[in-house]
């Protein structure tokens, strides 16, 4: 009986030791596992989008709809359409000339982002302008070129693409709304006779 108790005690200690070692190994593996964040330059991705065939098709469809609206003698519809045009233009300029969010652009290819992330070994993808702080032990991987190619093949990305990536950062709140105001004034003079 005493031998059986000793055997059970020995097996129990062995199992506890094995579980402890396995848990410790798991903790070490997690601690040593490198955490990577995929980043991209939203300005360059926006540029790749606006020179893409996808953007051209979208704009052609929108332009046709708006041309139909503008031929009607409906001032309210004209104003609504122009507000929409100017808002879209302003947001596009924020994304390309400043650090505006390109999330709505990336929604168009979101089904392809997991593959890019997996190939790069990253756990998440975020605009480098929206990554405010991260632990210095975390590695960032620039995915700008990979994401841009979802819109435009790399061989069709010209020097403007490269210059955009190299250009100085302009914060969104530094980007002026004056261009939209000027567009509106021109629209009022031309179409609303104000």
Are 182 and 137 in a shared domain? yes
- Measured CA to CA, the distance from residue 23 to residue 131 in angstroms comes to 33
Q: What is the pLDDT of residues 123-142, one digit of tens each?
A: 999 999 999 898 988 999 99
Beta sheet of 36-40, edge-to-edge order = 124-127, 36-40, 139-142
Binned at pLDDT 50, 70 and 90, residue 191 comes out as: low
pLDDT of residue 20: 53
Are 29 and 39 in a shared domain? no
Are 79 and 13 in a shared domain? no
Are 110 and 44 in a shared domain? yes
Binned at pLDDT 50, 70 and 90, residue 144 comes out as: very high
Higher-confidence position of 66 and 90: 90
Are 144 and 77 in a shared domain? yes
Domain that holds residue 4: 1-33
pLDDT of residue 7: 52
pLDDT of residue 3: 58
Are 89 and 158 in a shared domain? yes
The residue-averaged pLDDT of 30-46 equals: 86
Strand partners, 36: 139
Higher-confidence position of 41 and 134: 41
Are 88 and 143 in a shared domain? yes
pLDDT of residue 24: 47
Lowest model confidence (mean pLDDT) among 7-21, 79-93, 180-194: 7-21
The residue-averaged pLDDT of 169-176 equals: 83
Q: State yes or no: pLDDT of 15 exceeds 70.
A: no
Are 88 and 61 in a shared domain? yes
Are 28 and 38 in a shared domain? no
Are 28 and 113 in a shared domain? no
Binned at pLDDT 50, 70 and 90, residue 192 comes out as: low
- The length of the chain is 194
Our count of domains for the chain comes to 2
Higher-confidence position of 34 and 186: 34
Are 79 and 163 in a shared domain? yes
Q: State yes or no: pLDDT of 27 exceeds 50.
A: no
Are 44 and 135 in a shared domain? yes
Q: Taking all residues of the chain, what is their mean pLDDT, rounded to a whole number?
A: 82
- Supply the DSSP string of the chain, one letter for each residue: -HHHHHHHHHHHHHHHHHHHHHHHHHHHHHHHSPPEEEEE-HHHHHHHHHTSHHHHHHHHHHHHHHHHHHHS--HHHHHHHHHHHHHHHHHHHHHHHS----HHHHGGGGGGHHHHHHHHT-SEEEETTT-----TTSEEEE-HHHHHTTTS-GGG--HHHHHHHHSPP--GGGS-SHHHHHHHHHHIIIII--
The residue-averaged pLDDT of 40-64 equals: 93
Lowest model confidence (mean pLDDT) among 2-16, 68-82, 114-128, 158-172: 2-16
- Measured CA to CA, the distance from residue 85 to residue 80 in angstroms comes to 9
Q: State yes or no: pLDDT of 12 exceeds 70.
A: no
């Amino acid at each position: 009986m005493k031998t059986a108790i000793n055997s059970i005690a020995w097996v129990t200690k062995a199992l506890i030791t094995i579980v402890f070692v396995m848990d410790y190994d798991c903790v070490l593996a997690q601690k040593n596992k490198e955490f990577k964040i995929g980043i991209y330059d939203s300005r360059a991705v926006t540029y790749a989008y606006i020179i893409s065939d996808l953007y051209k098709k979208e704009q052609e469809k929108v332009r046709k709809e708006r041309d139909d609206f503008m031929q009607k003698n409906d001032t309210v519809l004209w104003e609504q359409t122009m507000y929409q045009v100017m808002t879209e233009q302003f947001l596009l300029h924020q994304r390309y000339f400043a650090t505006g969010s390109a999330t709505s652009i990336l929604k168009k290819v979101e089904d392809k982002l997991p593959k890019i992330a997996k190939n790069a070994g990253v756990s998440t993808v975020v605009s480098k302008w929206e990554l405010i702080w991260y632990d210095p032990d975390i590695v960032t991987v620039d995915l700008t070129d990979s994401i841009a190619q979802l819109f435009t093949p790399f061989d069709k990305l010209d020097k403007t693409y490269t210059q955009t990536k190299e250009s100085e950062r302009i914060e969104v709140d530094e980007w002026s709304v004056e261009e939209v105001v000027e567009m509106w004034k021109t629209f009022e003079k031309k179409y609303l006779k104000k």
